[in-house]
Amino acid sequence: YEEVVDTPPYRFGRIGFTWLALLVARGDTSRLPVAMTWLVLAGIFFISTAFALIAQASDWSPLTGLVAVAIPGFWTSLQMALPEPVAAALLVLGLYVFRREHFASAGLLFGASLLIRETGMILAGCLLTHLVLRRRYKEALVFGFGSLAGVLVWRAYVGVTFSSEWGFRAFLYSPPAGIPTTGIVTLWRVVSSGLYYPNQPEVVRAATVFPLVLLSGFLLTMWGVVSNLKSERVASALYALVAVSLTYENVWIHVANAQRTSYELFVMLAIVMVGTEAREWWLRRSLLAWWSCAVAYSLFLAYDARFVFDSITGF
């Protein structure tokens, strides 16, 4: 397996996108590149739709769903045919269904998302805790089983398959986590030394600015949690903590990795924004300002800003 992919327990644990791509390609591996690309595009469309539905339910304009286009990681995923938009779409659709108290359907959507990227467990865990604290144990059981059963069974199978080589890590393998902001500090140190992609100024520019977007997003999530302990706000704070804890060696080695890995922070801040009440005008305006900066980054400052701008404008 290691002759085919790096870190097999980690890669094969995220089997959902592979299954979807094979299903769309009807088992024809020569059609996988096309199938994967269309799945990513479909993911961006459906997460925009889910954002619009959640926004409309909160008396925001459905056009708010277009914020999905401003998430930098989705453009990286689109160029590389990687599954983050698909996982995010299933997650946000699951949240919308959860809010309508269709817990079985929400659990299945979350479960499908977790088979693509297990990081959705943070939001699933926050929602499950919400149900338990409200003593809605039956609903918590239904939602929890739908969300976790599939991924736990699959991870157990992967663990058994690779345990002879990887030991217990085959069951729970995950990339090493860093101390918050140390990866960013290391990145800026390398950038200031002139050794970070010296012949690619667009990458240097993005590596200088994007950490500021993440750090300001982190501060906003902390602000939101202090004012209200809603499940979505707690989840956004946890995703923000993960985003500012990305290590240089595993992620910041190229800013594209950081854009792609931090997409949950953007997703959750979109959900928090439309859920902010009018009386919290200070937080609402701050979130709108942050999203304006995120749009400006994607269009003009990201390493792939030219591609993003041309794709949107058609020039």
pLDDT tens-place string over residues 176-215: 778 999 999 999 999 999 999 999 999 999 999 999 999 9
Residue 302 · residue 210 · CB < 8 Å: yes
* 23 pLDDT above the threshold of 70: yes
Per-residue confidence (pLDDT) for residue 82, from 0 to 100: 94
* 49 pLDDT above the threshold of 70: yes
Question: Which residue is associated with the tokens 């269309």?
Answer: 38
Structure tokens at 185: 């500090």
Per-residue confidence (pLDDT) for residue 315, from 0 to 100: 62
* 260 pLDDT above the threshold of 70: yes
Predicted confidence (pLDDT) per residue in 237-252, tens digit: 999 999 999 999 999 9
pLDDT classification of 55: cutoffs 50, 70, 90: very high
pTM score, whole prediction: 0.94
* 235 pLDDT above the threshold of 70: yes
Structure tokens at 220: 């906003």
- Residue 176 buriedness (CB in 10 A; 0-12 / 13-18 / 19+): exposed
Rounded (10°) angle between helices 201-227 and 263-274: 40
Helix (H/G/I), strand (E/B), else coil: 246: coil
The chain-wide mean pLDDT, for the chain, equals 93
- Residues with Cβ within 8 Å of residue 249, at least 6 apart in sequence: none
* 296 pLDDT above the threshold of 90: yes
Per-residue confidence (pLDDT) for residue 1, from 0 to 100: 73
